[in-house]
A = this chain, B = another copy of it.
Amino acid sequence: MAAEPVLLIMDFPARPPGGEEQARALRALAESIAQEPGLIWKIWTRHEAEGRSGGIYLFESLPAAQAYHAMHAARLSAQGIGPIEATYRFVNGPLTAITRGPVPPSD
């Protein structure tokens, strides 16, 4: 059976606002995340009024999402960020296609 794409939704307390140094570090982090195995895309999320940051990820498979989740949660925790909420969801492909959802067709 072909791997099924999976969404990983991560959400956690926002970092305190930083300056250009933080912005540079986040761009470097994004360049690294773009190379993660099995990552199709990541949307970076924020909600200033709720003090939240996070991401919505689409991975090619559940194992790829789980491996990234474990690595990224440990990386955030090491920076003192948490607690980290993570939710996995699968995709209804035919309905998503009707509503222009940006999920490539499965193999």
Q: Which residues of A contact B (CB under 8 A)?
A: 7, 9, 11, 26-27, 30-31, 33-34, 39-48, 52, 54, 56, 87-92, 94-96, 98-103
Contacts of A88 in B (CB 8 A): 47
Count of identical protomers in the assembly: 2
Of A31, A44, A92, most buried by chain B (CB within 10 Å of CB) is A44
Q: Is the CB of B102 within 8 A of A46?
A: no
Main secondary structure of the interface of A (DSSP, over half): strand
> Assuming A7-B56, A9-B9, is B27 touching A98 (CB within 8 A)?
yes
Cβ-defined partner of A98 (8 Å) among B9, B30, B48, B102? B30
8 Å CB contact of A96 from B40, B42, B52, B96? B42
